[in-house]
Structure 1
Amino acid sequence: MEKKELRIGLIGYQFMGKAHSHAYRDIPFFFDVEAKPVLKVVCGRNEEAVQQAAEKMGFESYETDWRKVVERDDIDVIDIVTPNNTHAEIAIAAAKAGKHVITEKPLAMNLDEAQRMHAAVTENHVIHMVCHNYRYVPAVQLAKQLVASGKLGEIYHFRARYLQDFIMSPSFPLTWRLDQKVSGSGALGDIAAHSLDIARFLVGEINEVVATAKTFIKERPIGSMTGGLSAKVSEGKMAPVTVDDATAIIAKFENGALGTFEATRFAGGNRNRNEFEINGEHGSVRWNMENMNQLEVYFAHDEEGLQGFRTIDVTEASHPYVGSYWAAGHMIGYEHTFIHLLYEFLQGIARGEQPKPDFADGLRNQAVLTAIEQSIQQQRWVNVEELLVKS
């Protein structure tokens, strides 16, 4: 029997556009999907560049106005991989047009936008997701299983560090990622948002935070992103950096656990060191994206003299998602996190079931980000629940 098709309209085509497009193309190869993705149209403002992207990534057509994509009758899904300040307008319009929606993180620029986006997808009964792809690393999914099963017992600590170094040079230009009007924040929204989502996924909701932030280089030459995390100077004029370069956070979880978070784009030698450790009464787990196929596990009940962290290669067929790929010990990579997340998104649409993380998760994460911003500004603890009630 011929499978149903889900026709994809991708808004944006650079770093994340490439990751999402690749995932859509590979999903049917590795997974038995109930609805096949069809790369229908990709959209970008630069006609020459988006036309080249359409040809390279395998889209049937291209547009230069996202509104035309949303209005098209031959589109089922709107996938948003544009800068943060565009997420709300596109997602709300897509939901009102009856399209299923997935957007890159963070969900929005602020809590008000996030609430309006959540209301739009809820009221229009469309499937929705936020692309926190690190949830879908098999090792992270295994950590979730261990926590949920109670093998670690009561959770005491969650600590996370997300370390990058790509903007350390003073000559790195001021791109949209360093402009608050476009990005909303710097290391906080760009990388700490991932750590906060993983913490909520693995440990539970955060109800109170205190934080500080630092901008090390105050002024940069104006420039633009050129793909991946590379950029070029577009003019000699200098402009002020309006976002944080680094943020440090202490968090209290609803279940009593204590969390600490560090996010910086000034950690020399760390290209993408996204890591966490969880400590519980019966054991601990820790993981680092730079060794993404491995999960370190410690159990307090191990035989005395043989206790300590052991390293598990999360490549067995019994591990989450891994059975769809290669033989044990044959590693998968970063791109597979998008395959897993978008597979769940497509299956959710086909079955009429809401996958996670969804806009409700995005809204909650936005509330935590807002609480952190307020804490930095006001130099005090901020309660997340109070923000949600007031807004």
Structure 2
Amino acid sequence: MSFRHRVLIIGTGSIGVRHLRCFQATGRAEMSICEALPDRRREVAEQFGVAHACADIEEAIRAARPTMAVVASPAPSHIPLALQLAEAGVHLLIEKPLSLTLTDADRLLAVVQQRGLTAGVAYCWRYHPLIAAAQQFLASQPFGRVLEIVCQTGQCFPFYRPAYRDIYYNDRATGGGAIQDALTHMLNTGEWIAGPIQRLGADAGHQQLEGVTVEDTVHVITRQGRASDVMGSYSLNQYQPANEVNWSIVCERGVVRIEVAKHRWMQQNDPAAAWEIHTIPPPDRDTMYKAQAEGFLDAVEQQAPPRCTLADGLQTLRVNLAVLAAVDSGRSLAAVT
């Protein structure tokens, strides 16, 4: 079979394999992998029948000749690997967070622009059908501009990632902790809906998760939008039994609510009227990633821009770093006297 795209997946941990499975499911791409561990490389290559299974990036560029790559390696390696690929003329979808520092981020942006490449960051919540429907509705401003955005989310992280103690999550230096691993998704989604975060205050702590010391609970308040005229609030914990993501977006003449666990979004603009409710069939855990794969291939074909561009991902990285700085400064909360 002849494919228009040759997609290289770099890193075959759980998220790399998910990207591999979902890009393969599009039927639009020849798939290859880059994985340093021989046994893992062999296992994944056999499971998915990839065209090439390479041990390092140089071999992968030479043998697989990728037209695009998904960088799903540990977060500290994202930008160095992306630079190598961009300099070879490869389109890029980079896992979140874009990095853990700003080092070489502007250089990557410049190379992508100079080479005319498509590049994005894999903030998959922009492809959730509820989020996408509500964002599209709000973008047309039927209720006027957004005034306030509130996100409340939590889940039992050990249930979904039982090995959390032994992977990157256990150390901020490898991209771990609730801020860089989980809250970053919500911050990025909130910026898509209500504009870039300009100022923030934050508090975070380790409340419950056993076997780690990184934060598992975060509260952030924001001023966002181009004019900093939207007030925001984001809260997340990683130990409650219920897996839920709830949004409330209050506008000048109405409100939109998103309840992911109930598979619905709602709108209301009349105090005397009932909510207008929009429901969707329950999505599976690959739904967002399959939509993201299709969307990014469309972007490479210049049918539409990526929903989360490289510049968008860099903006959210700056927000991540600001949250960490606010928490670590010890000045995020004022004493009540």
Pairwise same-fold verdict (TM > 0.5): yes
Aligned-residue sequence identity (percent) comes to: 21
Greater alpha carbon shift after TM alignment, 348-357 vs 87-96: 348-357
Distance 1:311 1:352, change over 3 A: closer
- Check the 8 A contact 2:144/2:252 in 1, yes or no: yes
1:114·1:362 contact (CA, 8 Å) conserved in 2? Answer: no
Equivalent residue in structure 1 for 2:250, among 275, 279, 298 = 279
**Per-residue deviation, residues 216-238 of structure 1 (Å, max 9, x unmatched):** 36983xxxxxxxxxxxxxxxxxx
Contact 1:146–1:152, Cα closer than 8 Å, also in 2: no
The corresponding residue for 2:335 is: none
SS of residue in 2 equivalent to 1:151: coil
C-alpha separation between the residues in 2 aligned to 1:90 and 1:7? 17
Letter in 1 for 2:67: D
Structure 2 counterparts to residues 285-324 of structure 1, below 5 A: 285-292=256-263, 294-300=264-270, 304=272, 307-314=273-280
Matched, 1:93 2:84: yes
Q: Bigger shift: 192-201 or 60-69?
A: 60-69
Give runs of aligned pairs for residues 98-113 of structure 1, distance below 5 A: 98-113=89-104
CA distance in 2, matches of 1:120, 1:217: 43
Which residue among 350, 366, 379 is the counterpart of 2:301? 350
Give the corresponding residue for 1:225.
none
Task: Provide the residue aligned with 2:19 in structure 1.
Answer: 20
Larger relative contact order, structure 1 or 2 (CA cutoff 8 Å, min sep 6): 1
Change over 3 Å in CA distance of 1:6–1:200 after alignment to 2: same
User: Matches of 1:171 and 1:27 in 2, distance apart?
Assistant: 30
**Equivalence for 1:8:** 7
**Judging changes above 3 Å, is the alpha-carbon distance between structure 1 residues 276 and 114 closer, same or farther for their aligned structure 2 residues?**
farther
Aligned counterparts of 2:63 and 2:107: Cα–Cα separation in 1: 23
Q: 82, 101, 111: which is aligned to 1:120?
A: 111
2:242 equivalent in structure 1? 270
In 1, distance between residues paired with 2:200 and 2:55?
Answer: 41
CA contact (8 A) 1:248 1:261 kept: yes
- The alpha carbon displacement at 1:24 in A equals 1.5
Q: Secondary structure at the match of 2:17?
A: helix
Distance 1:180 1:25 in 2: 32
The 1:152–1:74 alpha-carbon spacing in structure 2 relative to 1, beyond 3 Å, is same
Counterpart in the other structure of 1:154: 145
**Does residue 1:372 correspond to 2:323, yes or no?**
yes
Q: Which residue of 1 aligns with 2:231?
A: 258
Shift of 1:172: 6.0
Quote the residue 1:319 is aligned against.
none
TM-score (norm 2): 0.88
Q: Which moved more, 1:137-146 or 1:195-204?
A: 137-146
Q: Is the 8 A contact 1:137 1:337 kept in 2?
A: yes
The CA deviation at 1:210 is 0.5
1:160–1:261 Cα contact (<8 Å) kept: yes
* SS of corresponding position for 1:111: coil
Moved more, 338-347 or 351-360: 351-360
Distance 1:218-1:192 versus aligned 2 partners, 3 A rule? closer
Contact 1:127/1:352 (<8 A) preserved: no
- Distance, in Å, in 1 between the alignment partners of 2:94 and 2:162 is 31
1:274-297, Cα deviation, whole Å (9 max, x unpaired): 3321111222122233334x2122
Number of aligned residues? 329
- Looking at structure 2, the residues matched to 357 and 179 of structure 1 have their Cα atoms a distance apart, in angstroms, of 26
Amino acid in structure 1 at the alignment position of 2:299: G
Residue 268 of structure 2 aligns with an amino acid whose one-letter code is Y
| Cα deviation, residue 186, structure 1 | 1.0
Asked whether the equivalents of residues 161 and 276 of structure 1 are also in contact (C-alpha less than 8 Å), the reply is yes
Give structure 2 stretches of 5+ with no counterpart.
333-337
What is the TM-score normalised by the length of structure 1? Answer: 0.77
- Tell me, in whole angstroms, the C-alpha distance in 2 between the residues paired with 1:155 and 1:82: 36
- Taking only aligned residues, the RMSD between alpha carbons, in angstroms, comes to 2.6
Once residues 101 and 111 of structure 1 are traced to their aligned partners in structure 2, the CA distance between those partners, rounded to angstroms, is 18
1:205 aligns with 2:196: yes
Distance change in 2, residues 1:157/1:291 (3 Å) = same
Q: Tell me what 1:145 maps to.
A: 136
